[in-house]
Amino acid sequence: MRRVRTRYAPSPTGPQHIGGLRTAIYCYLFAKKHGGDFILRIEDTDQNRFVPGAEEYLMESLQWAGVPPDEGQGIGGPHAPYKQSERKALYRKYADQLLESGHAYIAFDTSAELEAWRERMKTQGNPSPQYNNVTRQYLMNSTSLSADEVKSRLERGDEYTIRFKMPRNEEVKFEDSIRGWVSVNTNQLDDKVLFKSDGMPTYHLANVVDDYLMEISHVIRGEEWLPSAPLHVLLYRAFGWEDVMPNFSHLPLMLRPDGNGKLSKRDGDRLGFPVFPLNWTDPETKEKSTGFREIGFLPEAVLNFLAFCGWNPGTEQEIFSKAELIEAFTLERVSKSGARFDWNKVKWYNQQYIKTISDETIASTIAPKIAENGWKCSDAQLIKYVSLVRDRAVFINEIPEIGYYFFTDIREFDLATAQKKWKAERKDLFVKLSNQLNALEAFDAANAESLIKNFLHDNSLGMGEVMPILRIALCGTMQGPPVFDLMEWMGKEMSIKRIDHFIQMMN
């Protein structure tokens, strides 16, 4: 069997969206499952749309997400260069091959002439005139002009493009791994430009030539390229490369959470979530967009989540390591219909992945932030702190803030709850409790717990009458770790100080 080689072929026209990252992930998973290669090719034939930094951004996000290419731009490999603008010189010969075999022709129409022609056609009742196998005979090209005219125009140095000569009334059929058989009549298709007057190939020519030269076995790409696929199939035929034509798979769109449109940056801004893997600053407008990485998502969680946007393994299992995804992934299980982006789901994934990381690792991740805040504690205390608050975090970088009161003064007390629980006549009881705690020799969680429980028993008080007060005294809020653990961590001095201060406050 042919070696499996997939490629991700983005155009560097801006920061890569998570939809693009998902395409790369599927290309990667499929290649790895079959022991093949995953290639990164930069398709920058449209120089007008080039955005500085976009290419570096792409490479960094693939690395971050854990889907590094085996060969390609930034890595190298046997088919270098992997950037189409650096391959410019090689495409012309393929365009010439098509001219010679009669599958392409030279067209002299300038953009102004074409514009004027389109306007004329519109007034004659054709709202979307196409340059195609009927209209080409009325336009300025080597199929309509005499050979002498063509020759003299070329000698004169007239600018021209090379267009594909779309055959008349032929059925183009190909099998898409996700969509099944796709069939289109060539009368629906126009004579696409393959080679531009600036000496650059268009996307269609460069894409097909490069897939051929790079020995790509499977083209896995977004649904928006499905309309281009019949032309690509015809190009493979015209070149005589049909036996090595890649297998095609067109992925479903990534949909916005509400409605049927494609997920866009605007949806993210509107609904408050990122659509880019990494932070991005627009080089022109300086507008900043936040990335999943910087918000605090773990790459493993994003990989798992994106793999499930449009694919599922057919079982209940939702947590998949990269190795498990590689094992389970098949193109046949990619769905045809769009995959809705679910912000709560990706956060859920992150929470699940945080659970798999040890307290020690999280502690060393957040240690710089703790130090930056000027908060002090030993390494062992920081690890203990992590173990006490981590369950409430969706992101690791929330962990320092979640229990800020371990390290610094309480900023706000939940007085509404405290007032419901507080009874003025119990003040002396709380003072007594504080004194007893103060007299404890070994001030640890177990001793504090048995002291408090005895105290409740001796004074006929229920847990619910005392614990909320202690909790709010120690951390300001009803949320937080177990009170006894908190006391042990803070130590006697700080615990008693907070309890006494709170008794004064409530009085």
Please give the angle made by the CA atoms of 189, 249 and 255, to the nearest 5 degrees. 90
C-beta of 406: minimal distance to ligand GLU in Å? 48
Asked if 453 and 447 count as a contact pair (C-beta separation under 8 A), the reply is no
Q: How far is Cα 334 from Cα 251, in angstroms, rounded to an integer?
A: 7
Among 33, 88, 196, 265, which one carries the catalytic annotation? 265
Please give the angle made by the CA atoms of 239, 241 and 242, to the nearest 5 degrees. 115
Return the number of the residue (23 or 350) whose C-beta is nearest ligand GLU: 23
Q: How far is Cα 324 from Cα 249, in angstroms, rounded to an integer?
A: 22
Which residue stretches of 308-396 are H helix? 322-328, 343-354, 359-372, 379-389
Q: How far is Cα 282 from Cα 268, in angstroms, rounded to an integer?
A: 16
C-beta of 43: minimal distance to ligand GLU in Å? 4
Buried b vs exposed e over 366-397: b needs ≥16 C-beta within 10 Å?
beeebeeeeeebeeebbbbbbbbbbeebbbbe
Measured from the Cβ of residue 295, the count of other Cβ atoms closer than 10 Å reads 16
Residues in the chain: 507
Return the number of the residue (43 or 485) whose C-beta is nearest ligand GLU: 43
The one-character DSSP state at 506 is H
C-beta of 39: minimal distance to ligand GLU in Å? 11
Return the number of the residue (225 or 413) whose C-beta is nearest ligand GLU: 225
Please give the C-alpha separations between residue 226 and each of 65, 89, 183, 356, 389, in angstroms, as whole numbers. Answer: 26, 28, 11, 40, 49
Q: Kindly list the residues in this chain that would bind ligand GLU in the complex (CB under 6 A).
A: 9-11, 43, 203, 207, 221, 225
C-beta of 9: minimal distance to ligand GLU in Å? 4
C-beta of 221: minimal distance to ligand GLU in Å? 3
User: Does the N-terminal peptide bond of residue 81 adopt cis geometry, omega within 30 degrees of 0?
Assistant: yes
Question: What are the strands, taking DSSP E only, across 266-352?
Answer: 280-281, 288-289, 339-340
Return the number of the residue (229 or 339) whose C-beta is nearest ligand GLU: 229
Q: Where does residue 47 rank: exposed (0-12), middle (13-18), buried (19+ CB within 10 A)? A: exposed
Return the number of the residue (207 or 350) whose C-beta is nearest ligand GLU: 207
Residue matched to tokens 């995804």: 325
C-beta of 44: minimal distance to ligand GLU in Å? 9
Q: How far is Cα 398 from Cα 455, in angstroms, rounded to an integer?
A: 36
C-beta of 12: minimal distance to ligand GLU in Å? 9
Return the number of the residue (53 or 296) whose C-beta is nearest ligand GLU: 53
Residue 265 annotated in active site: yes
Return the number of the residue (11 or 217) whose C-beta is nearest ligand GLU: 11
Residues marked as catalytic: 265
